[in-house]
Amino acid sequence: MGLQRPVVRVLSLGRISYTAGLQFQTECVRRHKNGLSGSVLVSETKPLDTLLLCEHSPPVYTVGMRQAAYPSSEEARLRQLGAEFFRTDRGGLITFHGPGQLVCYPVLNLAHFQRKSIRWYIDQLERTMMELCHRYGLETSTSSDRGIWVKDNKICALGVHCGRYITSHGLALNCNTDLGWFEHIVPCGIEGKGVTSLSKELKRNVTVAEVTLPFLEVFEQQFMCTLTISEMRDTSDGFAAWL
């Protein structure tokens, strides 16, 4: 008998602030960890593996756990451009999120998948995005710097957090985002490299809406899971009832 495929719920949040994205992740992670400790509230549903899909607006710069290179003066400079700025607990250095970028935050219990391994998980994310780009006719690669590259230009950034094998944060694929925002930083702290997008490489407008379904198809195949699409329903605490 084969192993049962894990079920992963998908919620498309649309364009939301980075703060809202963090709140959704935090709530999903909390319920997963409560499930591990046996302290799920009676009013809560069973914690579920979840993909949170969104675009971030307003534009935002985020930095990972290695924050020494980004003093308050640098934060102030970037905020003056009209962007928000957040310090996070993900891996990696500085990056940008904004409209035209497919952002995916998988909140998964890795014990439900083929291997309970953060290295395996990151490798699977990279393979997912490489296969997605391949579907669009792009030759991509990975490197020790992480992320997905078209030659020397990064098209997809990865930065994850994992505690007790519960994942958060994730990936950001440049579809038709304004790449000019990246000119104000050294993306991911990597000198001498650039950024690109699907639209730039394909020389046509490639929207987040166009890419979402192929992304989900590839994710489902790569992670050997079954995706179910959920709809948000407003609740008194500001979170979706499906959580």
Catalytic residues: 188
d(CA 10, CA 104): 10
CB 110 within 8 A of CB 117: yes
The residue count of the chain comes to: 243
**Three-state DSSP string of the chain:** CCCCCCEEEEEEEEEECHHHHHHHHHHHHHHHHHHHHCCCCCCCCCCCEEEEEEEECCCEEEECCCCCCCCHHHHHHHHCCCCEEEECCCCCCCEEECCCEEEEEEECEHHHCCCCCHHHHHHHHHHHHHHHHHHCCCCCECCCCCCEEECCEEEEEEEEEEECCEEEEEEEEECCCCHHHHHHCCHHHCCCCEECCHHHHHCCCCCHHHHHHHHHHHHHHHCCCEEEEECCCCCCCCCCCCC
